[in-house]
Amino acid sequence: MRDKRPVDELSIQELERILAMRKREERQKRMQKLKREGRVVVQPEPVRPPAEFVPPPVPPEPEVSKGASGTGPVKVEKTAASVLPYREDRPPAAPAGLHFEDELDDFDYAPPGEDGERAWKRFVNAALLLVEIAAVVGLVFLGVRLFDAISRLEQETASAAALADQQRRAVIPTIAPTPQLTLEAVVLPGGHTFNEAGAPQFNYSEIPAHLLPMVQDQLVQPPPRRPPPTDHTPLRLIIPKLGVDQTIIQGVDWEALRQGIGQLPNNVTPLDETGNIVLAAHNDIYGEYFRHLDQLEPGDQFQIQTRTQIFTYTVQGWDLYEPTDVHVMESRGYPAATLISCYPYQVNNKRIVVFATLDA
C-alpha cells in the first residue's frame, strides 16, 4: 500500500530510501529508452562460481577443574584465547541477497568500443547526406544551364528564320489586289420577293445573269462585321411628316435591313462637303419604315443625328428607278442624303429614291 504520510512525518532514512527508489526508476526508464533505440547491447550475466564454505573457527574447550573430592561444582575458566575481539569499525555484514535501491547491478552497459562505432556511423550518414545534397544542387544547376542553352538556340533559330523569310519576301513581286465586286455595286438595296410559303427572300432576278456568280456567295455568307460608330457617324433618322424615328444600322445587306434602316457603308458623314449619305429600308416587311416615301414633297425636312449634333436635310424631290441604277448612290458634289426603298407597295419591281440636301 502506498505511504500517504506527509514529508514532515518521514524520517531521514525513509527519505533517503524514497530518493534512491526514484533515482532507480529514472535510470530504469533511461535504460529502457536506450534499449528501444538499439543503443544498449545486452550481454549475458557472467556465472559466478559458488564461494567455498569456510567453517567458523571453533573456540578451544575451557579447562574444567574439579574439586578435591572430585564431586563439587564445575568451574569454567575462560582464557584470553576463547574471547573473540570485537571491532567497532567493522561494518555489519549484509544479509545474503540484499541489494540497495540505488545499485546499478542490473544495468547492462555497452562496451566502450560501441561508442566509436556509433560515432563512425553518424559521420558516414552525414557524409552521404552532404553528397546527396550536392548531387541535387548539381542536377538543378545543369537543368538551368540546359534550359538557358535551349532558349538561346530557339531565339537564334527564330531570328535566322525571320531573316530568311524577309529575304525571300523581298524577291516576290507585289501583286495589285483584285477589286471585289460588292452587291451594292450591282443592284440597289431593298429588293425582295416572297416564296411559296409567303416568307420574304432576296430577289435574285434583279441581278444581271453575267454578274450573279460573282455576288451570289455574298448572300449566303454570315453578316459582315459592323464598323464601330464614331462621333460623326449617323445614328438616328427622324422624318416628322412620316412619323419615322428610328436608329440607323451600318450596312445595307439583308441582315441589316431586317433590323431597320441601314446606311450604305461608304464612310460618309454629315460633315463631308461632297458626301452622299445613302439610307435604305423596306416598304412592306420588317417594320415598313419607308412605306410612305412617295408622300414626301420638295421642301419637307428630316433630321440625321450623330453623337454630337443633329443635321437637317431638305427634300428636293423623288423619282422611280430600275434596281440596277446604282448611280443614284454616287456623290453629287455637295453634302446630300438619299433615301431608297422598293416600290410600289408589295410589287417591288422598282426603286423609289428621295433626294435631299443639307441645310446650311
Contact 331, 308 (CB under 8 A): no
Amino acid at 26: E
Q: What is the pLDDT of residue 41?
A: 64
Residue 157 lies in a domain: no
- The pLDDT value recorded for residue 186 is 83
Distance CA 28, CA 107 (A): 8
Please name which of 297, 259, 282, 279 lies closest in space to residue 345, comparing C-alpha atoms: 282
User: Is residue 235, in this structure, part of any structural domain at all?
Assistant: yes
- What pLDDT sits at residue 320? 96
| Backbone phi and psi for residue 215, each to the nearest 5 degrees, phi listed first | -120, -10
Identify the CATH number of the domain in which residue 239 sits.
2.40.260.10
Give the pLDDT score at 111: 54
Taking the C-alpha atoms of residue 290 and residue 297, their distance in angstroms, rounded to an integer, is 14
Q: What pLDDT sits at residue 76?
A: 47
Asked if residue 162 is part of any domain, the answer here is: no
pLDDT score for 6? 80
pLDDT at 92: 53
Domain containing residue 292 = 187-204+230-358
Separation CA 20–CA 103 (nearest Å) = 9
pLDDT at 331: 93
Identify whether 10 is part of a domain. Answer: no
In-domain check, residue 6: no
Which residues, including other chains, have CB under 8 Å from residue 335's CB and lie 6 or more apart? 270, 272, 273, 274, 275, 357, 358
Residue 179 lies in a domain: no
Q: What are the grid coordinates assigned to 65, written together?
A: 577443574
The pLDDT score that the predictor gives to residue 140 is: 93
Burial class (CB in 10 A: 0-12, 13-18, 19+), 137: exposed
- Is the pTM for the entire model greater than 0.85? no
Q: Give me the residues paired with residue 76 across strands.
A: 64
With respect to residue 295, please indicate whether it lies within any of the assigned structural domains.
yes
Looking at the structure of the chain, the number of domains it has is 1
Return the pLDDT at 209: 81
SS3 156: helix
- For residue 42, the surrounding DSSP H or E stretch is none
Question: Can you give the pLDDT of all 360 residues of the chain as single tens digits?
Answer: 566 778 777 888 888 888 899 899 998 888 888 888 877 666 666 666 665 655 666 666 555 555 445 555 545 455 544 454 545 555 555 444 444 444 444 444 455 556 678 888 889 999 999 999 999 999 999 999 999 999 998 898 888 888 888 888 887 776 655 556 677 778 899 888 888 888 888 888 888 888 777 777 766 677 778 889 999 999 999 999 999 999 999 999 888 999 999 999 999 999 999 999 999 999 999 999 999 999 999 999 999 999 999 999 999 999 999 999 999 999 999 999 999 999 999 899 999 999 999 997
pLDDT of residue 184: 77
304 within domain boundaries: yes
Query: If you search the block for the grid coordinates 420574304, which residue do you land on?
Result: 200
Question: Closest by alpha carbon to 240, among 323, 284, 165, 296?
Answer: 296
Which amino acid, residue 360?
A
Cell triple for 164: 530568311
